[in-house]
Amino acid sequence: MNAPILVSAPAAPADLLIRGAHVLDPRTGIDEPRDVLIRSGRIAEIGAPGSLPADEGVELIEAAGRHLFPAFVDPHVHLRSPGQEHKEDIASGTAAAAAGGFCAVLAMPNTDPVIDSPALLRSLRDAAARQARVPVGFMPAITRGLMGEELTEMAELREEGAAGFTDDGKPVVAAGMLRKALQYQRLCGGVIALHEEDPTLSAGGSMHEGAISAQAGVAGIPSVSEAVMIARDAMLAGYEDGRIHIQHLSAAASVEAVAIAKERGVRITAEASPHHLCLTHEAVRTLDTNMKMNPPLREESDRRALIDGLRSGVVDCIATDHAPHARHEKEVPFEQAPMGTTGLETSFAAVYTHLVRPGVLDLGLVVRRLSDGAALFDLPTPRIEPDARADVVLVDLNAEWVVGEDGYVSRSDNCAFDGQRLAGRVLLTVASGAVAFRADALRREEAAA
């Protein structure tokens, strides 16, 4: 019997009446103003606006004009623990997740040391059981030390609660190594999530290979370095009937490779990040190190393909790849800076502002894709319906804010959207039945009431 995947610190179950918010849950089909009563951390009742009474012991939140969504689930974050707590830790990273409307996250293993042993996984889960503001699961490494040479003890890691496996930050370079992991997956299950790049094509690169890299004189990462590995690994997964998930797609050719594999019946899913959906390599022209991430921001045609993929379902979900770095690490010349942008606190607002407001994507689709990652990793999918556990996020779509102006909940401030004016502010996050985040704006309203 495997341990449960998600762990979090104990928190008091919420008793809330969220009155009059526009409830939007594409899975249950609600799309209208509703009262939502949460008792002891579960959705007790959903009724017409103003119809449900605020009983004693229930906090009333007047939410007319706001939106209530199923909370978001992020299958790809870097919490940097153990060993890199100057960038982020379990407490700060899950607090940032709560501030972004997430009710569950999966943490990547490229820490120091790498999460590649059952003992280390157990100790991290113990720490999460004391510190995690929202439920967190861990994705240990496929190969020991991310070295690509020996399998981790995948079966025992699964027993200890591993959500799946990934060498994220690096590809599994040797096809034979990945093949063995896919074979072993038959024994223990667990999605194998893949960071795809062929290092013989990408090594030394700091940005997308194209006009900007040519002009800046910075070595480029060609889009094919991702697509060729996806094609290879999809072939392997098809041959071994393995279950793979492609992380952070960045290029049109990659979307195409995933689509072809899906048509062939390969058990493959894929994610895209808000920054790849909203930004292009034009943002890198000034050599702002917050715009340096792997995979890199690419061209408008790539961005369009990712959006189309998200709409059609070739791209299954949005994942942030929240990758915090300390200021002194990013405050260096572009080529020396580490790869990564934070994303948990801006994911909804970025996608809402850049894609929903201009009419590119439906709000309902975005809300869905922000939690579609859950089912891919066998996590519970948040639903707004009676008797469901309360995993909800209250958002003010009209609230505009300048990213970073009031600081960040994350320990790091390397956000690709820093300084942008975005619409859509998370006011309240209920995760696993407990209030995990409450915006200052909501506190002030309550104080005034």
Partner 1 sequence: MRHLISIEDLDRSDIERICDRAAQFSEVADREIKKVPALRGRTVLNLFYEASTRTRSSFELAAKRLSADVVNFSASGSSVEKGESLKDTVLTFSAHKPDAIVIRTPWSGAAELVSRWTPAAIVNAGDGKHQHPTQALLDVHTLRSRLGSLDGLRIWIVGDVLHSRVARSNITAFRRMGAEVTVAGPPTLIPRDIETLGCKVSYTLDGLGEADVVYALRMQLERMHGVWVPSLREYARRYQIDGSRLRPGQLLMHPGPVNRGVELSAEVVDSPQALITAQVAAGVVVRMAVLYEVLAHAPAPAREPQPDHTAA
Residues that bind partner 1 (CB under 8 A): 209-211, 213-218, 220, 222, 286-287, 328, 331-336
Closest CA to 251 of 201, 204, 290, 217: 201
Q: How far is the CB of 116 from partner 1 (least distance, A)?
A: 29
Closest CA to 397 of 436, 435, 430, 356: 356
Question: Rounded distance, CA 275 to CA 249, Å?
Answer: 11
Length of the chain: 449
Give whichever of 308 and 413 is closer to partner 1, judged by the CB atom: 413
Q: How far is the CB of 343 from partner 1 (least distance, A)?
A: 23
Cis amide linkage into residue 109, ω under 30° from 0: no
| Residue position matching structure tokens 């991430």 | 293
Give whichever of 101 and 296 is closer to partner 1, judged by the CB atom: 296
Question: Rounded distance, CA 373 to CA 350, Å?
Answer: 18
Question: By the 8 A CB rule, do 42 and 368 touch?
Answer: no
Question: By the 8 A CB rule, do 93 and 106 touch?
Answer: no
Q: What is the DSSP letter of 321?
A: -
Question: Rounded distance, CA 327 to CA 413, Å?
Answer: 7
Asked if 321 is an active-site residue, the reply is yes
Q: How far is the CB of 290 from partner 1 (least distance, A)?
A: 13
Element (DSSP H or E) covering residue 373 = helix 373-376
Q: What angle do CA 56, 58, 63 make, to 5 degrees?
A: 130
Question: Rounded distance, CA 334 to CA 218, Å?
Answer: 9
Element (DSSP H or E) covering residue 68 = strand 67-70
* Helices and strands, counts by H and E, the chain: 15, 18
Q: How far is the CB of 254 from partner 1 (least distance, A)?
A: 18
Give whichever of 67 and 325 is closer to partner 1, judged by the CB atom: 325
User: Of 74, 89, 302, 321, which one is the catalytic site residue?
Assistant: 321
Beta bridge partners of 68: 23, 394
Cis amide linkage into residue 33, ω under 30° from 0: no
Give whichever of 164 and 220 is closer to partner 1, judged by the CB atom: 220
Give whichever of 110 and 206 is closer to partner 1, judged by the CB atom: 206
Q: How far is the CB of 214 from partner 1 (least distance, A)?
A: 4
Q: What is the DSSP letter of 144?
A: G
Q: How far is the CB of 303 from partner 1 (least distance, A)?
A: 17
Give whichever of 172 and 218 is closer to partner 1, judged by the CB atom: 218
Give whichever of 218 and 317 is closer to partner 1, judged by the CB atom: 218
Q: What angle do CA 415, 416, 417 make, to 5 degrees?
A: 90
Q: What is the 3-state secondary structure (H, E, C) of 80-106?
A: CCCCCCCCCCHHHHHHHHHHCCEEEEE
Q: How far is the CB of 208 from partner 1 (least distance, A)?
A: 10
The set of catalytic residues is 321
